[in-house]
Structure 1
Amino acid sequence: MPVFDSPSRCSLGQHVRFRWYGYPPAEVGDDIETAVDVLFESIDGGSRVWNLYNERMVRSEFRARILSAQRGELSPIDEIKSVDVRNPPPLYEIRWQGITVTSLLEAGKKRFDQVLVRQYHSEPVAAPGYFIGHHAHEKVVSGGTVSERQDAEIAVAKRFYDAGSASGWGIEPGQRVPSDI
């Protein structure tokens, strides 16, 4: 069985373009902001509370990491790594290790935590100058089996990859990778 463990385009020091092909869909040109919204929504559930400053900081961290990925500047393992290397398509996860969140507890008390966030993307041979985001989630490491939950999240990303394959993930023919990222 082949193993797909090539380094990510996002860590090779060359410019690549980001395309979002997941839910919700993104219009061409709105890919980064759509992904930032999806990333934020992945940690904005339940009892989480936000002030304007904290929300802006978190969104800024998400956006900065995607822009670094476009410049090919991500550090392998710490910021990006391959996932499910035994099953095609090869997917990668962009990793955020310590996103600060505030949860509202009973009796109005607040708890400050740091959470893990993952965004899965593909780097198809058919789209050599791109990495294509498919799904994002908060990685929960307490209770239950972490690997089963993460495998389910990866399966969501694979479904978006498969769904977009025939259409080229909405990439317009002739779009080039900008050199001024």
Structure 2
Amino acid sequence: ATGRDHTHLAAGKQHEEIRFRDVASQPRKIISSPTWSGIESEEVCYNAGWTNVHELIPWRTLSGRQQLYQDHLWMRAFGEALCVYRPPVDLKTITTEVNRDAAEGEPHVVLNFITPHQKWGIHSTYSDNLLMLTLNRGGPVIWISETDAAKAGIVDNDWVELYNSNGALTARAVVSQRIKEGTTFMYHAQE
């Protein structure tokens, strides 16, 4: 409890109802409330910390503030109570696999693989309906820079295989100038 009145956040929407069939047919905007840090408003662009700043609602952390320090025993045991720099992965762990592919004449590039959240849904929710599938390529895709694609002989929409010591995946390539050389990414939770 903040000791402050936040009923005005939902003013004008107290009669709205969200039913399962509504959500199943298409996404619905939620009603602003103190339990969610964003705000739904025609005057304010969405941002995840709006109510924390403007309504003085504490952040959902032990201190009630934004924090970089994680005072948890298991985080401290790993030496990561604060943000730490991690150098690029030592490629000696996969050198055998990369050299094998090179020896077999398979084109390849070694890239940093990141998995950001997607733009159009929450995890896999709302991303697998027909409308959303027609807005993109309709299946698993990885994004790769034009430079890295050229090095590996990849053209837009080619099927590619990505692998590391944890496993492998197959997806279509989206060749884009927006991607930094040396990096590839796949939106989080593609189903």
Q: Same fold (TM over 0.5)?
A: no
Larger RCO, structure (CA 8 Å, separation 6 or more): 1
TM-score by length of 1: 0.20
TM-score, length of structure 2 as denominator length:
0.19
Q: Which has the higher strand share?
A: 1
Higher helix proportion (structure 1 or 2): 1
- In our comparison, the structure showing a higher alpha carbon Rg is 2
